[in-house]
Amino acid sequence: MISEAPARPADKLAILVWAADPGRPELCATPFYFAAAAAAMDVEVEMYFTARSVELLRRGVAEALLAAAGSGKSVADFRREALAFGAKMFACPTALASHGVDAAELISGLAGQAGAAAFIGRTLDPAWRSLSF
């Protein structure tokens, strides 16, 4: 009788950020917070920004958004923490174009541009888990 090896838990997390709209700053810090927490647990983390969420990668936007009233932390502070823990961030090229964000306006430290096919590829890979914000 051949016994199967126990299933190994996934150690990679792909996060789709599409509803974190800069017009609703109270929604914008959470994806970065989850990314930082997972990366701190030695999980490989990739964040894919689409829709208006790509604006959180534009210099100056996240810096002007408070994560919560009275918190004293900007959304950019949470973004910096996620990057510091090793989360990789990707901007959807279609979303950039549709929201008028030029690549020259993006923050430094991004892993690059990647869209739907890249994220879907991660969700289909059994080594990866996914979250959506």
List, for residues 79-122, the tens digit of each pLDDT value: 999 999 999 999 999 999 999 999 999 999 999 999 999 999 99
First to last CA, the chain: 44
For residues 72 and 90, which has the higher predicted lDDT (pLDDT)? 90
Q: How confident is the model at residue 6 (pLDDT cuts 50, 70, 90)?
A: low
pTM score of the predicted model: 0.92
Which residues, in sequence order, are CB contacts of 16 under 8 Å at separation 6+?
A: 48, 50, 119, 130, 131, 132, 133
